[in-house]
Amino acid sequence: MQKVQCQHIGPAAFVLIYKHLVRSHLEYNNSVWAPYRKLDIDKLEKVQKRATKMIQGIGNFKYPERLRQLDLPTLAY
């Protein structure tokens, strides 16, 4: 799998784009934003984990630290 880096946009722009184009789709359906199976929750959270790893400068931080840096809650929240 090819690793993608967001080299031409900053973290603030990335968060704005991510929230509007990706996260809105993840939160759209009730079964998505209120999953009851642990496997479903993990799969949804994995999308956000991979997206936050693409940001240059914070991609090497642990997931909770990346969320703090970007002021994003977990999808489970």
Burial tier of 34 (Cβ tally within 10 Å: 0-12, 13-18, 19+): exposed
Identity of the residue numbered 7 = Q
Task: Please check whether residue 44 is in contact with residue 75, taking contact to mean a CB–CB distance below 8 angstroms.
Answer: yes
Residue 29: inside a domain, yes or no? yes
pTM over 0.75: no
Q: Which two tokens stand for residue 48?
A: 């956000």
How many residues are recorded in the chain?
Answer: 77
**Pairwise pLDDT comparison (62 vs 23), residue with the higher score:** 62
- Does residue 24 fall inside a structural domain? yes
pLDDT bucket at 33, cuts 50 / 70 / 90: low
> pLDDT digits over 43-76, tens only?
888 888 998 888 888 888 999 999 999 888 887 7
Residue range(s) defining the domain that contains residue 39: 11-70
Please give the tally of structural domains in the chain.
Answer: 1
